[in-house]
Chain A
Amino acid sequence: MVFVLTIYLPGQALAGKITGIVKVKGLRSPVDILVYVVKAPAVHEDLSKIKFTMDQQNLTFIPHILPIPVGATVDFPNNDKVNHNIFSLSRTKKFNLGSYKPGESKNVRFDKPGIVELRCDVHAEMAAYIMVLKNSYFSVTDDQGRFEIPDSKYLEQHHIKGIKNLSPGKYVLKIWHEKLKPQKQIVTIPEKGDISVEITAVRGTPGVLYK
C-alpha cells in the first residue's frame, strides 16, 4: 500500500492515454472487465446532471458491470415485462427499491467507493455490479478485451467533460471481473504520447476494489 502511494507522481503537463488489451484465460470472452487506475486525481465534476443507467430487460441487468465515479446517481428503469425489486445489501451501499412495474424508474446515489452487488428480490438469476470508483480514470473492456483510459466513449456517452489525460508518471493499474483473479500492473505514462499495455488475467476469485 505504501508502495502504491509513493509511485503516484503527477506532473504538471497532461500526457497521453493508457490504451491496451486484457487477455484472459478461462473465460469465453474478455468483455466487461473493469480496468482502473488505483490512485489518480479526482476531478470534482458536477455529477448531479449526469445520467448513469442500469436497465432491466428480459430478466437481465444492462450493463452487467457499471463503473461510476463516487457521488454519481444511477437510474434503474424497468424496461421489462414483469415487476422487479432491485436491492443491494453490500456494505458499500445498502438499499431496496421495492417492487415496481414495467415503465417505472427509480434512482440511487452512490456516495462511497467500493463494489455494489445488485440483485432482484424475485428473480434469482439477476445479478450485476456497480463499481463505485474514487476517480474517473477507468474503462470497461470491449468484446476484444480492448480499453482506453480515460475512456472517451464512456465520457461522451455520459456527457462527462473535464476529464483529461493523466499526467506523466507511474500509476497502478488494476482489473476487476467477477470471475477473474485480481491483477495489477504498474504503468509509466511518458511525457508525450500514449502508453500501451497488455494485461493477462486468469480465472479465479475476484478481489476488493481498494485494498
Chain B
Amino acid sequence: MKRYAFAGILLLLFLITHHFEKNSLANTTQIKDINKTTIQGRVSSVYGPVQNARVRIPGDEKYTLTDKQGRYLLQPTHVHFQGVKVTAGKEGWFNNAQYAGPLGRVQDIYLNPIYLNDNPDYRFISPVVCSRCHTKLTRYWDQSKMAHTTSNPKVLDMFYGTDAFQHDNVKPGYRLDNPNSNGNCAVCHAPSAAVSSPWSQDLRSVLQSPRTEWDGVSCDYCHKIQKVFPDKTKASRMAPIFERQSSPIGNSILVFGPYDDVVVPPMAASYASVFNKGQFCATCHGHFKPLGSGKTWDHSKIYSPSEWEGFGLKGDTTLPIQTTYQEWEHWQDQLSWNDPNKGKKCQDCHMSWRKDMLPYDNYIVDGGARRMWGTYRSPEDIHPHQFDGGTKIQLKTALSMEIEGKITGKKVDINVYITNTNGGHWVPTGETMRSIMMVLKVVDSNGNPLKMLKGERLPEWTGKGKVEAGNYAGLPGSVFARVLADDKGHLNVPFWRATSIASDTRIRPKSTVKLSYEFLLENPEDEPSAEARLIYRPVIRPWVKNKHWLAEDILITSRVW
C-alpha cells in the first residue's frame, strides 16, 4: 500500500513539475518557424471580451484589432528568436501582454480599465526620474525650448516689464499694465504648476519653488494627458483631460503615450491616440483674446471668410493672437484626400530625427533599462523629443526664394517669389513679435542703387538707422508678420493691449508670394544686378532696443539676379 502511495506521490510530483515546466516553456519557447505560425488568442477584461484592442508583437509595425469576442489572429512580420510576447492596448485601458505558446496559442490578455479618478493633488514627477531610463529622449527635451518655458528670460521680461539687465519698468510688461493680475501665462509656461490653479500662478514663485518639475513643459505633464477636447473658456480654446494617478494604482507610473505595446514594470502604460495627432499641441499653440465689453473689430479686411472660419471663430468679438494649430488644421482641411501632404502632423516635423542624433537608435530606453525592458523598433516609430521650432536649421528650409529680372529700355522689372516650403502652418507663426523681411537691393554695374519706380518699401518698425546694423525701414522689400494694433492705432502692441489686427501678411503653407518691383535704369546698355535677402527677425526691433535683448536676425536665404 505504502508502495502505491509513494508511486502516486511521485506521479503527482511529476505532473505538477511537468505542468510548471510547460507554463514556463510557454514564456520562453522559441517558435521555430514563426513566419508560418499564426498567433491567436483573446483579449478580455473584467467586463468580458475587449473589442477593437490593438494587438501586436512589440515593436512590429503591423497590428491587428480584436473582434467582438475579443479574438485576434496575428501573423508576425519578423522572426523572433526569443519567447514571443504579444501585447494588447486600447484607449482607456492599461496595456498588457502574454507570451505565445509553441503552437502560437496565447493565454487571454487581460486589460484593466483606466478608472476615471483624476487626482488633482498629484505631484508630477521630475524629468530626472524619466531620464534614468529615457536618457536620450530627456536629453533632447532638456535642450529644447519646451523644457524652459518658465525660465525663458524673454517670457519673464514680458511678464514683469523688466529688461535683460533686470531693470524695472521697461515696456512692454504684462504686470506694468495689470499690476494685480497673474494673467494666465502659467497655463502654458508653467503648466505643471498651473494645472490646478491657472489664474493664480506667478511665474517667479514657480521658479523659486523647490519643485523643479514645475519649470517647463515636463515629461510627466504631457504623459498624464489622456485626451484633448475643445473648450472655449480656455485661451487656446482647447483643453487637456488629465488622469493623474491616485495611490491605489501602485508604484508603477501611469503614463499615456503613442505605444500600445509598452508593457514594462516601472510604468503602467496606456495607449492614447492623441499623441499621434496635431490636436495634442493645440492646448498651447493657439491663443485667442475675447475683446470684451461689447467691443468688436473688422476682420474681413485681414482674413478671408475661409481663414476666419479656420480659426474656429464666429463674429468679430475675438482676436486671434496665436493660431499655429488652427493654421495647420485649416491647411489640412483644405487638402484633398490624395494630396501627399494630407495627414502630416506637428509631430512629424517637430519630433523627427536630426543629423546630430545619428546613428539611428532602435530603442526609446537606454542603459540597463534597454536590456531589461527595451523593445526593438524601427527609427520611424521613434519620435525624438527635441521639439525643433524656429531654429536656424528649420528656418533655413522653411522658406525658399527665387528671383528673376527683365530689362525693357530704361526699366528693370524684378520679381521675387517667396514660398513657404516646409511650414505646415503660416510662416512666421506663434509669437507676434516675430517677423520675416525680404530686403531687395538693385544696383547698376558700378554698385550704385537704382531708383525704385514701383514696389513696396519696408515699414518703419523694421528699424530706422544704419542698414549695416539691421535697420531696413524705407528700403525696397516686404515684411511678413501678424501686426497687432490698439485703439489709438499704435502698431506692434503686446497682445494684452491689442484691440485689432492691422495686417497679417504671413505666408500660408506651401503657397508662394510674388513681389514685383520696377526700377529706373538710366543707361539701358548697363548690366544691373539685384540681390534679395530673406531675413528672420525673432523680435521686432523696437522691443529689442527697449529690452536690451540679444535677438539676432537669421539669414534664411539670399538670391542674386
State the A residues within 8 Å of B (CB): 58-60, 81-83, 85, 87, 89-91, 96-99, 101, 115, 117, 119, 121-127, 181-182, 204-208, 211
In the bound complex, do residue A125 and residue B341 qualify as a contact, i.e. CB atoms below 8 Å apart?
no
> Could you tell me if B512 and A89 are in contact, using CB atoms closer than 8 angstroms?
yes
B151 to chain A, nearest CB (A): 26
Contact sample, A vs B, 11 pairs, CB 8 Å cutoff = A82-B353, A87-B421, A97-B340, A115-B402, A119-B397, A119-B400, A123-B354, A124-B397, A125-B354, A207-B561, A208-B403
Tell me whether A85 and B340 are in contact (CB under 8 A): yes
7 nearest A-B pairs in the assembled complex, by CB-CB distance: A98-B340, A205-B558, A207-B560, A96-B340, A124-B394, A205-B560, A89-B419
When chains A and B are docked, how far (Å) is the Cα of A182 from the Cα of B561? 9
Q: Within the assembled complex, what's the spacing in Å between the Cα atoms of A87 and B339? A: 12
CA distance A181 to B353 in the complex (A): 32
Q: Is B154 an interface residue (CB 8 A)?
A: no
- Say whether A58 contacts B358, CB under 8 Å: yes
| Complex contact A125–B402 (CB within 8 A) | no
Q: Is B333 part of the contact surface with A, judged by Cβ < 8 Å?
A: no
Residues of A within 8 A of B341 (CB): 96, 121
Known: A81-B378, A127-B396. 6 other contacts (CB 8 A): A58-B355, A81-B380, A82-B380, A121-B341, A124-B422, A205-B531
B interface size (C-beta, 8 A)? 38
Interface segment among B5-13, B31-39, B273-281, B344-352: the answer is B344-352
Q: B349–A206 contact, CB under 8 A?
A: no
A58-B358, A82-B360 known; A122-B404 Cβ under 8 A = no
Cα A60 to Cα B348 with chains together (Å):
17
Closest to A99 in B: B340
Residue interface mask B541-561, A partner, CB < 8 A = 1: 000000000000000001111
Decide: A82 and B340 in contact? CB cutoff 8 A: no
Q: CB-CB < 8 A to A127: which residues of B?
A: 396-397
- In whole angstroms, how far apart are the Cα atoms of A87 and B344 in the complex? 14
For B340, give the chain A residue with the smallest CB separation.
A98
Contact in complex: A81, B340 (CB < 8 Å): no
Asked whether, in the complex, the Cβ of A83 is within 8 Å of the Cβ of B355, the reply is: no
Q: Are A206 and B352 in contact (CB under 8 A)?
A: no
Give B contacts to A, CB under 8 Å.
Answer: 340-341, 344, 348-349, 352-355, 358-360, 378-380, 388, 393-394, 396-398, 400, 402-405, 417, 419, 421-422, 510, 512, 531, 533, 558-561
Total number of A-B contacts with CB less than 8 angstroms?
94
The smallest beta-carbon distance between B521 and chain A, in angstroms, is 14
Q: Which residues of A contact B419 (CB under 8 A)?
A: 89
B interface SS class: mixed
Contact between chains at B402 and A121 (CB < 8 Å): no
Find out whether the CB atom of B393 lies under 8 angstroms from the CB atom of A82: no
Q: For A123, list chain B residues within 8 Å (CB).
A: 352-354
- The closest CB in chain B to the CB of A208 belongs to B561
Query: In the docked arrangement, what's the CA distance between A123 and B561, Å?
Result: 29
Which of A85, A122, A126, A127: most chain B Cβ within 10 A? A122
Q: In the complex, which of the residues A83, A89, A124, A181 has the most CB atoms of chain B within 10 Å of its own CB atom?
A: A124
Asked, given contacts A87-B340, A121-B422, A125-B397, whether A59 binds B355 with beta carbons under 8 Å apart, the answer is yes
Interface-centre pick from A82, A182, A204 (highest chain B CB count, 10 A): A82
Are the CB atoms of A122 and B560 closer together than 8 Å?
Answer: no
- Contact assessment for B380 and A83 in the assembled complex, using a CB-CB cutoff below 8 Å: yes
Q: How far is the CA of A31 from the CA of B561 in the complex (A)?
A: 23
- Name the contact of B400 in the complex, choosing from A81, A90, A125 (C-beta under 8 A): A90
A121 to B348, CA, bound (A): 9
CA distance A58 to B360 in the complex (A): 8
Contact A125 B355, beta carbon cutoff 8 Å: yes
* Most B-side CB within 10 Å, residue of A81, A96, A98: A81
Measured CA separation A101–B61 after assembly (Å): 12
CA distance A164 to B558 in the complex (A): 36
Question: Is the CB–CB distance between B402 and A91 below 8 Å?
Answer: yes
A98 to B560, CA, bound (A): 31
Docked complex Cα distance between A115 and B417 (Å): 14
Kindly report which residue of chain A lies nearest to residue B555, judged by CB atoms. A205
Most B-side CB within 10 Å, residue of A96, A99, A125 = A125
Pick from B352, B358, B403, B558: contact of A122, CB under 8 Å = B352
The answer to whether A206 touches B559 (Cβ under 8 A) is yes
- With contacts A99-B340, A117-B400, A124-B388 known, is A205 near B394, CB below 8 A? no
Task: Note all chain A residues with C-beta closer than 8 A to B355.
Answer: 58-60, 125
Tell me which of A59, A85, A90, A115 contacts B358 (CB under 8 A): A59
A59 touches B353 (CB 8 A): yes
Q: State A81–B378 Cα separation when bound (angstroms).
A: 8
Cα distance, A117 to B396, chains bound together (Å): 12
Nearest CB of chain B from residue A183's CB, rounded to whole Å: 11
Query: How long is the Cα–Cα vector from A82 to B388 in the complex, in angstroms?
Result: 18
CA distance A82 to B359 in the complex (A): 12
Distance in angstroms from A27 CB to nearest chain B CB is 16
How many angstroms between the C-alpha atoms of A206 and B388 in the bound complex? Answer: 27
Contacts of A182 in B (CB 8 A): 560
Q: Are B348 and A122 in contact (CB under 8 A)?
A: yes
The reply to whether B559 and A90 contact each other, CB–CB distance below 8 Å, is: no
Given contacts A82-B379, A85-B340, A122-B344, contact A206 B560 (CB under 8 A): yes
- B402 and A90 form a contact (CB under 8 A): yes
Q: Are B393 and A91 in contact (CB under 8 A)?
A: no
Inter-chain CA distance A111–B355, complex, in Å, is 32
**CA gap between A145 and B393 in the complex, in Å:** 27
